[in-house]
Each structure stands twice: as C-alpha cells, then as structure tokens.
Chain A
Amino acid sequence: MASQTLQSVPAEGTPGRQEISAEEAARHEAEGQAYFDRVMAEDSRIEPRDWMPAAYRKTLIRQISQHAHSEIIGMQPEANWISRAPSLKRKAILMAKVQDEAGHGLYLYSAAETLGQPRDQMMQDLMDGKAKYSSIFNYPARTWADMGAIGWMVDGAAIANQVPLCRASFGPYGRAMVRVCKEESFHQRQGFEILLELSHGTPEQKQMAQEAVNRWYAPALMMFGPPDDDSPNSKQSMAWNIKRFSNDELRNRFVGMMMEQVKVLDLTLPDKDIRFNEETKKWEHGPLDWDEFHEVLKGRGPCNAQRLERRREAHENGTWVREAAAAYAAKQAKKQAEEEAA
C-alpha cells in the first residue's frame, strides 16, 4: 500500500505537528527507536508509516528498487526469444513469463514507493545508469536452450534468494515477495521442462542444453552476491531481519539442489569441485570469478549498454501512450466537472 499518500486523521488530544518542540522531537525519536527495536526483537513487521531508522529506510529503498529493476531488465533476454520460440505453445508460455516479470517489477516498485521514493525517480535512476540491477541479466541468451537454463538456474537461484525474503521485516516487501515466489515456481518448472525435452532429444539438442547449462552455471551462483567475508552490508541486513541467511549459505544450499536435479536432466554441472562436506554438512563448489562479477556490476559486462539502451528506447517509445492517457483522463475529468456544475 502506498501509505505515504494516505491522509491520516490526528487522534483527539494529540498536538499538531507544528507545535512539536525540539525536545519533543528528540523524545519522539527515542520512542520510535525503542518501538523499532522491540519489533525487531519480536521478529514482527515494520509498516510504512512506523518510525524507522533512516539507514533502514535507505537500505530498503536501495534493495527493493534494485530488485524491481532486475525484474524489468530481466524481461529483455527472454522477450528476445518470443518470436523465435519453437512452437505456439512455447511462445504463449514465454509471453506469460515475461508479463510476470513486468508484474514483479511493479509489485516491487509499489513496495519501494511506500518508503517515500517516487516510482518515476527510480525508473529515471535506472535509465541514467545510476541504479544497479542483478548482474545476471547482462549476459546474452544465445540459444533456445538458454531459455531453459535461465528458467531452471536463474529463476531457481532467484527463488532460493526470495523465499526467505517473504519473511523480511518490512511488511510491503515481504508481501510483494509472497506474490512473486508463487509465480516464480512456474518459471522454474517451465525452464526445467525445456532442458529436459532437449536433453532427451537428438544428440545435437542434448549438446545445446549442456552448453546452456555450462554458460549459466557460474553467473547463476554469483546471483547470491559476493562471499560472506566480502559482503559488508549483509551483517546489518541480517540484524534488521531483512536478510535471513548469508549469501554463502543460500548459494551452498542451491548447489545441493542443482546437483540432484541435474541428474534428472541427464546433464552435468561444469564444476568438478562440487562436493558434500560431511563435517559441515554443507555443499561446496569450485572457485568463482569474482573479478568478473564486479566488472559486470560496474557496467562492463557483455550486455550492460544494450540492456540500458533498450530500456530507454522502450520508455521513449511509450511517451505518447502516457501523454495520451493523461490527456484523456484530464479531458474526461473536465467534462464531468462541467456536467456536475450544469
């Protein structure tokens, strides 16, 4: 709910804002902090108009808007394959999936807006290259099998990351994630099915599936973010009950799931170092190229420029639609006002 815009009716007997002295403001701040701390300790939820620390608000705006941008940019590698999907059924499925990504972006922009950040500002920051989004969407989708690998591995990693976010301490974020997670499971299954059909097809099709898995494996693992000892914000996010598990914990858990599922596909993961550590009871994987991760995040990945250019182009192409809709609404409102006056 975009609660920032709601009109609250002051309770009887409470002073208006203008009457509050500096002393009272300080007391209000201390009471707010105490309330916030209690909510954190009880693992309850913060709602938009509750008092919250400025850094908590800022962290959430950054995280939720980056998440929204990732959904919006994430439409591109797949939309690119709609016209080339191998059957009408596949086209319809892919269109539904791309439409879902747009929906997820909008749920998340709404959640961020409850913190007081206008959506237009967030979208502008994305187009200006000031905002980040998931590094994964800066890799190209080269073949039809990549649609399978993206669904299975990229959406799979996204689900592993997002399920714990359903319990994030900020109410609107958690609620948006519940909706997103429900829809993502279709995405992952359709991807798995694409790979399964290819891996049980001709030798060429199987090879195509294997190559797609090879391409997306490392970037998918890097979606969980840098290793724990190089993730400065993680500790604070966990203290605030936004993040529930560390990057490495989620990544290791994901590797374990992939190892089981890849057997059903009759394919392999391109990592000889994957093993289950009997001592720690955790899955381990081989080294990842974190220099590449940071390069892509800084905007120097294979598709960064192309993705942003396409986003700006789509926004510009939609200008006349937004203008026409606003003009029509204004005209109708004027007409209605005139009729009421008459």
Chain B
Amino acid sequence: MSPETPAGNVWPIWEVFVRSSRGLSHVHAGSLHAPDAAMALRNARDLYTRRNEGVSIWVVPADAIASSDPDAKGAFFESPQGKDYRHATYYTKSEGVKHL
C-alpha cells in the first residue's frame, strides 16, 4: 500500500477523500504529502477535518490513480453524444399523463 518514496526526503503525494456524513459518498477533498498510509491518514484528518467535516477518510497514493486522457476527451466521451433518447425529457408525447 506504500508508494515508492522518491529520492531524498520528498514524501509522495496522496489524494484525500472525505465522507462528510453517513449516507454520502467519499468526495475528493484535496491532496497532501506523507511518508506512508498511516501518516497520510493523520495528516488528512488534521488538514481536511479540523471542523468536523468528516466521519471517514480515504487516502490513495496519487500515482495509483488511473485517469482518462484529457487530450482525448472528445473521442472518449463521444458515445453518449446525440443520444438524447437516454433522458426522460426526450419523451414529450406523454406530457400531462399523471405519475409518468
């Protein structure tokens, strides 16, 4: 679970996700530097939940996250384009019909 510590004393970057209250998802709050997962969690608590902002924290090594390619977002997200029929609002003939 510990990412490679780069040369010197530069601690790796961790991304922090906080669940603000029960019933909600963890949401990205920010990032921080820490030498290992235990320290990352403690730092995250001190940095992102000083005012009761969370009931649970996840920390993830930043280099463990795979992301879509920002330069290819057009092609990557092309499929849903023009497919309005995937939305309820596409179907207008039923307007006025109750409970539909």
Residues of A near any B CB (own CB < 8 A): 1-3, 5-11, 13-14, 28, 47, 49-51, 96, 99-100, 103, 106-107, 110, 113, 118-120, 175-176, 179, 183, 322-323, 325-326, 328-330, 332-333, 336
Contact = CB atoms under 8 A, between A and B. Distances in A.
A132 B14 CA distance: 27
Given A103-B47, A332-B2, A336-B2, A10 B72 contact: yes
A10 B69 CA distance: 6
Contacts of B36: 325, 328-329, 332-333
A51 to B, nearest CB: 8
A99 B50 contact: yes
B46 to A, nearest CB: 8
Instruction: Place the interface of chain B in its size category.
Output: 20 to 34
Nearest to A176: B30
B31 interface: yes
Contacts of A14: 69, 71-72, 75
Contacts of B46: 99, 103
Given A103-B46, A325-B11, A329-B2, 10 more contacts: A6-B67, A8-B67, A10-B72, A49-B67, A50-B70, A96-B50, A106-B32, A176-B30, A179-B30, A325-B36
B17 to A, nearest CB: 11
A120 B6 CA distance: 12
A8 B71 CA distance: 10
Contacts of A99: 46, 50
B66 A1 contact: no
B32 to A, nearest CB: 7
Interface SS of chain A: helix, strand, loop or mixed?
A: helix
21 contacts: A1-B28, A1-B30, A1-B31, A1-B62, A2-B13, A2-B62, A6-B63, A6-B67, A7-B63, A7-B67, A9-B69, A11-B76, A49-B67, A99-B50, A103-B50, A106-B32, A110-B30, A329-B36, A332-B36, A333-B36, A336-B2
Given A1-B30, A8-B69, A110-B31, A322 B9 contact: yes
Given A5-B62, A8-B68, A106-B47, A323 B2 contact: no
A169 B75 CA distance: 25
Contact of B75 (A5, A11, A113): A11
Interface string B44-68: 0011001100000000001101111
Nearest to A28: B71
B31 A113 contact: yes
Contact of B15 (A2, A51, A118, A120): A2
Given A2-B13, A6-B62, A326-B11, A47 B70 contact: yes
Nearest to A100: B50
A332 B40 CA distance: 14
Contacts of A322: 9, 11
Which 6 A-B pairs rank lowest in CB-CB distance, beginning with the nearest? A11-B72, A329-B35, A329-B36, A49-B70, A2-B13, A5-B62
Contacts of B10: 118, 120
Interface in B21-39: 28, 30-33, 35-36, 39
A5 B13 contact: yes
A271 to B, nearest CB: 36
A110 B68 contact: no
A93 B13 CA distance: 30
B2 A107 contact: no
B47 to A, nearest CB: 6
A332 B39 CA distance: 12
Contact of B68 (A11, A175, A183, A325): A11
